[in-house]
Amino acid sequence: MEADDGRNERSGSVAGLSLPSRVAVAIGVAVVTVAAAVHLAMVFLHVAPPNVVSKEHSAAIGDYIYPEFEQNWKLFAPNPLQQNIAVQARAELRGADGRSTVTQWFDLSAQDGAAIHHNPFPSHTQQNELRRAWDFYVGSHDAKEQPMGMRGELSEQYVRRIVMLRLGAERDGRPVERVQVRSVTRSVAPPPWSDEKAATKPTYRVLGWWPVTTADLPEAKNR
Q: Is 197 in the site for another protein (CB under 8 A)?
A: no
- Answer for which of 105, 106, 136, 209 binds another protein (CB under 8 A) is 136
Instruction: Indicate which single residue of 19, 52, 81, 143 sits in contact with another protein (rule: CB under 8 A).
Output: 81
Pick from 79, 104, 200, 214 the residue near another protein by CB under 8 A.
79
Binds another protein (CB under 8 A): choice among 128, 145, 168, 206: 128
| Nearer of residues 129 and 171 to another protein, judged by Cβ | 129
* Residues 165-194 interacting with another protein (rule: CB under 8 A): 165, 188-194
Distance CA 53, CA 42 (A): 11
Contacting another protein within 30-59 (CB under 8 A): 32-33, 35-36, 39-40, 43-44, 47-49
68 binds another protein (CB under 8 A): yes
CA 206 from centroid of its chain's CA atoms = 21
Q: Within 13 Å and on the Cβ side, how many CA atoms surround 96?
A: 2
Among 76, 144, 197, 208, binds another protein (CB under 8 A): 76
Secondary structure of the chain as H, E, C letters? CCCCCCCCCCCCHHHHCCHHHHHHHHHHHHHHHHHHHHHHHHHHHHHCCCCHHHHHCHHHHHHHHCCCCCCCCCCCCCCCCCEEEEEEEEEEEECCCCCEEECCCEEHHHHHHHHHCCCCCCCHHHHCHHHHHHHHHHHCECCCCCECHHHHHHHHHHHHHHHHHHHCCEECCEEEEEEEEEEEEEECCCCCCCCCCCCCCCEEEEEEEEECCHHHCCCCCCC
Q: Which of 54, 86, 88, 92 forms a contact with another protein (CB under 8 A)?
A: 86
Interaction of residue 133 with another protein, rule CB under 8 A: yes
Residue 111 contacts another protein per CB under 8 A: no
With beta carbons less than 8 A apart as the criterion, state whether 97 and 203 touch. no
**Among 98, 120, 173, 208, interactor with another protein by CB under 8 A:** 120
Residue 211 as a binder of another protein (CB under 8 A): the answer is no
Q: Is 220 in the site for another protein (CB under 8 A)?
A: yes
Question: Does 129 interact with another protein (rule: CB under 8 A)?
Answer: yes
**Rounded to an integer, what distance in angstroms lies between the CA atom of residue 164 and that of residue 157?**
10
Q: Does 12 bind another protein (CB under 8 A)?
A: yes
Candidate residues 2, 97, 142, 172; the one interacting with another protein per rule CB under 8 A: 2
144 binds another protein (CB under 8 A): no
Answer yes or no whether residue 213 interacts with another protein by CB under 8 A: no
